[in-house]
Amino acid sequence: MNWHAWIPLFVVVSSLLPGLIIFGLPEERVGWRTLLNLTGAVIKLLLVSWMIWGVYQGDHFETRLALLPDLDLVLRAGPLSLFFVALSTILWLVTTVYAIGYLEGSPNRSRFFGFFSLCVTATVGVALAGNLITFLLFYELLTLATYPLIVHRGTDTARRAGQTYLRYTIFGGALILLGTVWLYQLTGTLEFTPRGFLSQIDPQHYPALKIIFALLIAGLGVKAALFPLHGWLPQAMVAPAPVSALLHAVAVVKAGAFGIVRVIYDVFGVEFSADLGVTTPLAWIAAFTIIYGSLRALFQDDLKRRLAFSTVSQVSYIALGVAIAGPIATIGGVVHLVHQGLMKITLFFCAGNLAETLGIHKVSEMNGVGRRMPWTMAAFTIGALGMIGAPPVAGFISKWYLGVGALEAGQDWVLLVLMGSSLLNCAYFLPILYSAWFKPTPKSWPEEHHFGRQETAWALLLPPLITALMALAAGLLTGLPFSPLEWAKIIAEREFYQP
Amino acid sequence: MGDLLTDAHWGVLLILLPLFGGLCSFLWPSAVKFIGLATVSAVALSVVGLGDQLLATGVYHHAVGGWGAPLGIDLYADGLSLFMLMVTALVGLGVSIYALDYFDQDEARRFWPLWLLLLGGLNALFLSADIFNLYVTLEIVGLAGVGLASLSGGGAALDGAMRYLMATLLGSLCYLLGVALLYHSAGTVDIPLLAERLESTPPVWAALGLICAGLALKTALFPLHFWLPKAHASASAPVSALLSALVVKASFYIFLRLWLEIFSVRTEGVDDLLGALGMAAIIWGSLQALQQTRLKLMIAYSTVSQVGYLFLVFPLAAIGTFSAWSAVAYLVLSHALAKSAMFLVAGNLMHFGGHDRIADLDRAVQRLPITVGAFALAGVSIMGLPPSGGFIGKWLLLNEALNQGRWDLVFVMMIGGVLAAAYIFKVLGFAFTQAPVTHEPKGVPAVMEWSALLLAVAAIVVGFLASPLMLILGIGETVELMGAGQ
């Protein structure tokens, strides 16, 4: 049996199967549910490590199943896929631990963890998809699997947030479907190919290709929260904290950003997109979103909403890096896929801890919280400094490569955007840090819970500490062979220099 | 044994079995559930037998009693017939299992004979080789359908059934007039012979017009859909499922069959007219579904819109290929599975809460997770999202529309999908929230929950079976030939 042809499928199944079993588990079987979740996550991690090692040595992993007579369902592990798969696998494990702690004693946990696993399955499928139709399949599955998580609380606000989310994403999905069918009709293939499969096409189709590009990017932009398609994201904040963390760092938003990278690199190809003249508008939109998101974040008092607008801004770094269309900027954009994930998930974990332990939901309630929960706020500080781009946290690396890449590509205006965004990041993160650490502690917290001698439950405290350390390590240990930066360089090399 | 299996007259068996079973269930009411389920299972096995035979020998042709056309009755089965028989058997089996627990003994006594008669009529319809037999079987199907629709008693059901009766009789009448005119012009009712002899003359046009109108009425093509929502919404759940999933498809099958084989003399405008009506049906049906506050009415209007998709094939198939026809077959299959699942879900929810008001579903997702899961899965197929049978059908149809530059069709299909998502998620959203009304919920038997889920899962699974199903559809090359010939 040829294992290499099945491992990508196993990676997808390793979260699908536990998810399906969990749906059937009675509510009170906490032990079984935890066991299933963690086993799935660990198996996935092992399989992914195996694939990373294999791909590093030049092996090929590809699962191919017939979907239609001339279209296959393809799961393939390339450097770019593995980059995203590794991120979601690691963060799934951490988030599962966090979610178990966070939801302890709350109702409908079987349903929650079932859909949680489906969500990860869809994300991994999006990452491994080897052609556009497989990508579309998992992308839509992701929409469907996140909906129950957003409306999980069952309140009327949650239902309306869910409707908003769907209004955006179903519309986006329809655009992608249209773009995909059209592309298939023009080219007869949808297979992701390094540097794209369109450069040989008859120039008379160029106008059509521009529209297809716009359709695909708009459809993906919905999930990636590109302006003006970002409206669902702040509303979706009604979901429980682990869901927000997953949505912002790994699953939905990242699937959109990852899709943009895919479309530009492996469908159109960077050079061909630049020749078509479609990357410049995208760069402008991304730049505008970066500034706009930061400005909106500045005026939010609700902590999770502030973080949400910060996501709107930060995810567009990825699109910007790709749209600048140079090798160095590519490294910056792609590596931000992982860096933003690590930092943002830390921030959301911390926000969840504040809400669960002290009942703090607003920035204005955070005075002196650093003394009550030093570890949580330490993690928060690392995440926030990373977002600002302060060395040595990972965010600095992203911004550095973006800036150098923009100069190299002759797009000096990007530097202004980066500077403006960093200033705005300072403006909305530093006051939080200041009041948390230096302002006096109030007499009582809105709704305090005690967890023995720790500041909060272990399952809630460890995940943000781990991810904060990873964000720090990703910034400090960039020279190690499997660091995100090294891997991003491999991806950029493949896109730009290999024959 | 092997010879017996390949040589057996599965086609004859497919018609006689349900009729015989229906008779038995009428004579022995105490064993009605057992007889019914046994018959439906035997029919499903016979379809498998017929399929095996067709894969080996190509088309099936049998002259009943040894009298061939033009005098006697011919049975004929190719890939398309087999496909429809499969759909019928699959949906029939799911609904039958559901009906075991849905009806009490008294209701079951009335349900099973009629349902088995309907099944016999459907099977005979898909196996008929001449347009007069098609009429007879269509009439059996229609009357059995009306009987079933009136089963649940009550004023609303009788009103719905009455409208249905009027519509179905009027439709059959139009069709019969058309058949008479064709017989007068060509001297035969046998489909292959008609295909050879028909010429483009005014009486033939009139005949085709009448046939089209009659069938469009029975298929509930916009704007002739007026009878459907009420009839389908007021019937009991298993009956609604059968009517929406199978009966509507029977008249559409005749449309398709006649189109493929004898409508080559039609004028150009007819294709586009049907396409335009299909587009209007998609938009109108979806918008109506979106406005409904009752679940069953919403599902019924969704049928109106889904029927519209089927008619989009006619403008495309004029210069189309195999893929346009397989698209429509796929849509028929996945709609039958998904829509029957949805009606069964509606039955469960009504049984549970005593009402089907969408806004008052009251945390159904916690209390009936399997049922709501079935609704969601069926919904995925109806919306045409991947992975599902509905997606494959929509993908093929979109492909074909783009190939021919029919942007109007593309546009309407996209809007239809988004609207379908809107009405389905409206229901799902309310299934999560709490409703102010309190009512005494009644437990739903596991069989009823699981049979609905099974049908819904089938609608998803067929999304992965495109290659084998297209192989079946290609048997006898009827479909391919017509695509290539035009």
pLDDT in tens, chain B (486 residues): 445 555 678 888 888 899 999 899 888 888 888 999 999 999 999 999 888 888 888 788 777 766 665 566 788 888 888 999 999 999 999 999 999 988 888 888 889 999 999 999 999 999 988 888 899 999 999 999 999 988 877 788 888 888 889 999 999 999 999 999 988 888 888 887 887 887 778 888 888 889 989 999 999 898 888 888 888 888 889 999 999 999 999 999 998 888 877 766 555 677 888 889 999 999 999 999 999 888 999 999 999 999 999 998 888 876 556 677 888 889 999 999 999 999 999 999 888 887 888 877 777 777 888 888 999 999 999 998 888 999 999 998 998 888 888 899 999 999 999 999 999 988 888 888 777 766 677 788 888 899 999 999 999 999 888 888 888 888 876 554 444 333
Non-local CB neighbours of B2 within 8 Å, separated by 6+ positions = none
- Looking at residue B340, its pLDDT comes to 94
What residue of B is the nearest CA neighbor of A142?
Answer: B386
For chain B, domain boundaries: 280-486
Report how far apart, in Å, the C-alpha atoms of A243 and of each of A95, A96, A435, B257, B397 are.
Answer: 9, 10, 27, 51, 37
What's the rounded Cα separation, in Å, for the pair A55 and A108? 40
- Looking at residue A105, its pLDDT comes to 76
pLDDT tens for residues B345-395?
Answer: 999 988 888 788 887 777 777 788 888 899 999 999 999 888 899 999 999
What's the whole-model pTM score? 0.90
Alpha carbons within 13 A on the beta-carbon side of A246: 35
The CA dihedral of A47, A48, A50, A55, to the nearest 10 degrees, is: 140
Q: Is A228 exposed, middle or buried (0-12, 13-18, 19+ CB in 10 A)?
A: exposed
DSSP string, A298-330: HT--BHHHHHHHHHHHHHHHHHHHHHTTSHHHH
In this prediction, the residues of chain A whose per-residue pLDDT falls under 50 are none
- Looking at residue A391, its pLDDT comes to 81
What residue of A is the nearest CA neighbor of B422?
Answer: A167
Backbone dihedral angles phi then psi of residue A378, each to the nearest 5 degrees: -65, -45
Q: Which residues of A touch B422 (CB under 8 A)?
A: 167, 170
- Looking at residue B278, its pLDDT comes to 92
Beta-ladder partners of A66? A72
- The minimum CA-CA distance between A329 and chain B, rounded to whole Å, is 34
B197 touches chain A (CB under 8 A): no
Work out the mean pLDDT of chain B and round it to a whole number: 85
Say whether A166 and B365 touch across the interface (CB within 8 A). Answer: no
- Looking at residue A380, its pLDDT comes to 92
Farthest-apart Cα atoms in chain B, separation: 67
- Output DSSP code: residue A348: H
What's the rounded Cα separation, in Å, for the pair A97 and A458? 10
B433 vs A144, A159, A182: nearest CB: A159
Q: Which residues of A touch B377 (CB under 8 A)?
A: none
B466 touches chain A (CB under 8 A): yes
Tokens of B239: 């009956």
pLDDT tens for residues A163-177?
Answer: 899 889 999 999 999
Tokens of A149: 């998580």
Which residues numbered 415-454 in B keep a CB inside 8 Å of some CB on A?
417-418, 421-422, 425-426, 428-430, 432-434
Q: Which residues of B touch A171 (CB under 8 A)?
A: 418
Q: Select the residue from B286, B428, B460 to test the A interface by mutation, using most A Cβ atoms within 10 A.
A: B428
Say whether B432 and A156 touch across the interface (CB within 8 A). Answer: no
Among B366, B342, B340, which residue's Cα sits nearest to residue B430? B366
What residue of B is the nearest CA neighbor of A115?
Answer: B373
What residue of A is the nearest CA neighbor of B397?
Answer: A181
Alpha carbons within 13 A on the beta-carbon side of B302: 35
- Contact between A163 and A171 (Cβ < 8 Å): no
Say whether A23 and B402 touch across the interface (CB within 8 A). Answer: no
